[in-house]
Amino acid sequence: MAKRILVVEDNDLNRKLFCDVLKASGYEVVPVSDGSNVVATAKKFHPELVIMDIQLPNVSGVDLITQLKADADFDEVPVLAVTAYAGKGDEERIREAGAQDYLAKPVSIGPFMAAVRKLLDG
């Protein structure tokens, strides 16, 4: 059975790219463009990995990671954070919220898939 990945990304092109690459690698993918739907979608979909954009409209990806990690259903689900705005201290803050890995945009497919495989295959 294909591993399930929740892709949270508000940029249409990035979301499509992430989803297409993941699907081509055999993963089942559910895209979410609006941060307000993340927890509800995760509860329906039960992802085995969450790819989280940090810069979302209306809500911070860091806050969403914190919300997911506070939920017993998702506290063990790894999170790969992705952000275009990697300032000093951001990676530390993102990891403290509960993200297991972190990539700065623009994301190259090789490192992206390596990070996904590492988090899913442990």
Render pLDDT for 51-94 as a digit per residue (tens, 0 to 9).
999 999 889 999 999 999 999 999 999 999 999 876 778 889 99
> Whole-prediction pTM value?
0.96
CA distance 83 to 90: 9
CA distance 105 to 38: 21
Report whether the peptide linkage leading into residue 31 is cis, meaning its omega lies within 30 degrees of zero: no
**Please, is 108 exposed, middle or buried when counting C-beta atoms within 10 Å of its C-beta (0-12, 13-18, 19+)?**
exposed
Which residues are paired to 28 by β-bridges? 4
Taking domain 4-121, whether its CATH number is 3.40.50.300 is answered by no
Cα atoms found within 13 Å of the Cα of residue 107, Cβ hemisphere only: 27
pLDDT 10s digits, 11-31? 999 999 999 999 999 999 999
| Domain locations in the chain as residue ranges | 4-121
